[in-house]
Amino acid sequence: MKTEWGGYYLAGRPAGRKPVTVRIMRLGLHIDVMNGESLWWPHEEIRQTQGFYPGEQVRLERGGEISEAVLITDDSFLINLQQIAPQWAKRYHSPPLRARRVARTVYAAAGAVGIVAALYFWGIPALATLLVPYVPISWEERLGESVVQYLAPKAARCSDSTVAQIARGLVAQLTAAENNLPYKFHVLVIDNPTINAMAVPGGTIVLFRGLVEKTASPEELAGVLAHELQHILRRHSMHALIQHLSTSYLLALVAGDANGVASLGSDGAKLLGGLRYSRLYEEEADAKGVEMLMAAGVKPDGMISFFETMAKEGHDLPEALQFLATHPATENRIHKLKSLSQKRAGATTKLIPAHNWEEIKKKCSAPTATK
């Protein structure tokens, strides 16, 4: 077995190049420089920076800022290194494993191509399902924050915070029974006559004044909130956003570029504004929402009666168009909700006396002292 290799030693800046003889030992390399100097490089301090391909010279380096290097052209050096110092084999490239490494690289490249191909052949919907579980909650929160800045900026919110405070209290009550909540929930009420509510990824629910004013009781509002909470908890809104995002945002997401994700605020706000969840998601949010209401001791009747009102009057109200487009108040839906709520008899404490609700719900548009 060959034990000595010729090579070059490089040190200093600019690097001087001196011929050397390198001997492989079990614990390190013994390097004899032509001028008589002897160097001892323990394996644990050596890193290989070149020589990963056939014919490429092997470059070994040691040291920090001003590093020294040894160059060896004969790549049988690496093979013998593996045999003489097997316990350090992982620090060095192994030519016999080269074929396997090439295969891995090819598979990795195929994987990247595969994602792009999947985009075209299966489309983003399939990819969204794959991606969502891997999106960290912290990104979702950042994404949500940037969407909220467009959707419900401070100037657009109701100046009177009574409704928002009540809604936040309801959310706290609804989520009290849930263990390990991944989100910090927040409710914002905007001064807009549209009948609508939105679930923003990361934990914010945006209520429109028009919807609040259309509810006949706090139980109805709780029903809407429970439904929207489920869209967030089950990451429906996150899923829908990814599904409709442009490829550049998707790539930012895949690459872990948090700034790229945060910059989609205005597009995200527009998307969520007219978002239509799949029927499956709507049914899930209804069913789990009813469970949530019951677990919190709130009558699910409110959720049902709100949809009944929408079914009866909604089509004559231009403000309701958006909500109805995204939440069709069909007979089938109402029927399902009724059968779900009858399955379990929940505790039912009244949330707020109804006569007060008529006053409270109009607080947003009521003239305040400053106006």
- Interface with Zn ion (CB under 5 A): 285
Residues ≥6 apart with Cβ < 8 Å to 320: 195, 210, 214, 310, 313, 314
189 or 224, CB closer to Zn ion?
224
Smallest gap from Cβ 306 to Zn ion, in A, equals 12
Q: What is the DSSP letter of 57?
A: P
Smallest gap from Cβ 231 to Zn ion, in A, equals 6
Helix (H) or strand (E) segment spanning residue 107: helix 98-121
Specify whether the CB–CB gap between 241 and 186 falls below 8 A. Answer: no
Exposed/middle/buried for 34, CB within 10 Å: 0-12, 13-18, 19+? exposed
Smallest gap from Cβ 89 to Zn ion, in A, equals 57
Smallest gap from Cβ 333 to Zn ion, in A, equals 10
Q: Is 75 helix (H, G, I), strand (E, B) or coil?
A: coil
Smallest gap from Cβ 309 to Zn ion, in A, equals 16
Smallest gap from Cβ 337 to Zn ion, in A, equals 12
Helix (H) or strand (E) segment spanning residue 81: helix 76-84
164 or 285, CB closer to Zn ion?
285
Peptide bond into 182 cis (omega under 30): no
**CA 178, 163, 297, 211 torsion: positive or negative?**
negative
Smallest gap from Cβ 238 to Zn ion, in A, equals 14
95 or 223, CB closer to Zn ion?
223
Q: What is the DSSP letter of 66?
A: S
238 or 285, CB closer to Zn ion?
285
Specify whether the CB–CB gap between 337 and 288 falls below 8 A. Answer: no
82 or 243, CB closer to Zn ion?
243
Q: Is 51 helix (H, G, I), strand (E, B) or coil?
A: coil
Specify whether the CB–CB gap between 84 and 99 falls below 8 A. Answer: no
228 or 301, CB closer to Zn ion?
228
224 or 351, CB closer to Zn ion?
224
